[in-house]
Amino acid sequence: MKMNGAEILMECMVREGVDTIFGYPGGAIMPVHDAMLKYPVHHILTRHEQGAAHAADGYARASGKVGVAVATSGPGATNLVTGIATAIMDSVPIVCITGQVAAHLIGGDAFQEVDVTGITLPITKHNYLITSADEIAQVVREAFHIARSGRPGPVLIDICKNAQLEEIEFEYPEGEFSLPGYHPPDHAPMEGLKKAIELIEAAERPVILAGHGVQMSGAMEELKMFATKTNTPVAMTLLGLGAIPASDPLSLGMMGMHGEAYANEAIQESDLLLAFGMRFDDRVTGLLSTYAPKAKKIHIEIDATEVHKNVTVDVPLMGDLKTVLSDLIPMLDEYDHEKWMTQIGEWKAETKERSIMSWHDDGKLYTAHAIRALWNATEGDSLVVTGVGQHQMWAAQYYEFEKPYKLLTSGGAGTMGYGIPAALGAWFADKESDVWLIDGDGSFQMTQAELSTLMQEGASVKIALMNNSFLGMVRQWQEFFFDKRYAATPISGPDFVKLAEAHGIPARRVTKPEEAMDAIKFAQETPGPVLIEFQVEMEEAVYPMVPAGAPLNEMLRRPIRK
């Protein structure tokens, strides 16, 4: 059958399970948008290509499938870059399709020509430049396989316009797909497993560090079995939250710069760290030279480049986390670390005395209180998307995640503006899901144009906008370390209620703690997107906080209320 390159692209993507595409049209990608009309896919017109990349990211995280973003050449392609960088840092499987000028024009500075494969080489798992139609089928199959396998990540396909228009005889290549030379590890060697068992048997103060890899591997049950059998507490990274229920007695909550104080204390006093699908980034470790100085370290990781990169470990176990834990658990004996758990319990009790939850009676509206009200109203069962900033950390601390795959947030890149488009993508992954976006006024304003996309698509995303009229996290650093010289952090904004209503989105404003529950109930009962603006305290800080360059346990703490 004769097909042009654009039709071949669409045929191959549909065969890969694609039914939702986020994008923005333009001259160099126009044939692909034309071909979409012949296939059972829904194209969501975002208002900016960055929104398309973040929406594809949110879709991928919420669905477990590969997200797809499409853009034209030049500025369309470069506008995807921030979203691609966000995806590579957080190991999110997306495929970005960009149009490119005709092959014979490449290198001539043609209109809207940009070397997008060169630009994105450091921030993609792999990328391709297609100059003829007969390359498309193989490249698309490779791209989706690479994006979703091993340690997932973004792949970019740049397609010249002549390749999109060229007609060739095409028959889809049936049969099992394999990519020679690309074999992500599965089982760890038995020798390594035996060494790990020796360290586990000798440990008296072990701590599991559960990262994003737990959920990406689907290893939640194995994590629970391992932790229960060995009576080992579990600290989680930001993206690991939900790997074990927050209410589980073995849960230490989030670790790191704004993690629970008792989690950080436990890590620093431990004699064995078991790192499961995490990469020891700087926000988790604090000062590397002082990190967990008494601990032996076991690292289960699928990406060889992450092993020994930041922290040298005693036993690296290369492989798929779910598979490696399944091999390891039958080899384990049961252990009782009662003394260790008692010590952690004492740290937990001391931390509870510092909680802002005891400050309900001062009449002020704090972001933490608004998030806890949301947690109560949703019974902790919503899919929560956040922007980046103080509200992100408070969401991690006060919306207690009992289930996996319930928190979507930009961790490694810390991308402001992630929230609205990612929530849009998450809703398209499951239109029956209860999606709440917790955003800050600074992060929100970066991609607020996507409110139009929410409304056009009827996406039932509920927005809890925390407005403190500051770029809050930067302001906090200026308060602590720059003598309150608030340079470039006070930020004005529109009347957010009127802004939402201008898009046709119902909205309310909350200024007092007692108004929060009624406003949240209004959002829950109103069909389609809704915005609730919470006018919160302007100069509140996120505690605890590990200052840059400080050991993990040298935290700035919220004072105990007298």
Strands 167-169 and 2-4: antiparallel
Which residues are registered as beta bridge partners of 98?
A: 71, 158
DSSP 89: H
Per the structure block, which two tokens stand in for 100?
Answer: 């490119």
Quick one: which H or E segment has residue 228? Answer: helix 220-230
Q: How far is CA 193 from the centre of its chain?
A: 30
> Which one from 38, 111, 221, 353 is the annotated catalytic residue?
111
**Beta strand pairing call for 206-210 and 272-276:** parallel
- Tell me whether residue 112 is one of the annotated catalytic residues: yes
Closest to 295 in 3D by CA, of 305, 282, 280:
280
Q: How far apart are CA 466 and CA 517, in angstroms?
A: 15
Distance, CA of 208 to CA of 262 (rounded, Å): 14
Catalytic residue among 13, 278, 466, 473: 473
Closest alpha carbon to 114 in 70, 160, 47: 160
Of the listed 125, 161, 296, 462, which one is catalytic? 161
Question: Catalytic site residue 473?
Answer: yes
- Residue 214's CB is within 10 A of a number of other CB atoms, namely 30
The Cα 337–Cα 232 span in angstroms is 7
Q: Which of 244, 213, 536, 503 is nearest to 373 (CA)?
A: 536
Spatial distance between the Cα atoms of 133 and 337, rounded to a whole number of angstroms: 62
Q: Collect all residues with Cβ–Cβ distance below 8 Å to 202 and sequence separation of at least 6.
A: 272
| Residue 13 among the catalytic residues | no
Using an 8 Å Cβ cutoff, are 199 and 315 in contact?
yes
The Cα–Cα gap between 412 and 392 comes to: 13
Tokens of 219: 């290893």
CA 485 to CA 478: how far, in whole Å?
6
Mark out the alpha helices in 288-383 (DSSP H runs). Answer: 321-328, 338-352, 367-378
Q: How far is CA 386 from CA 45, 422, 478, in A?
A: 22, 9, 23
Of 7, 11, 16, 49, catalytic: 49
Q: Clarify whether 161 is annotated catalytic.
A: yes
Active site residue ranges:
49, 111-112, 161, 473
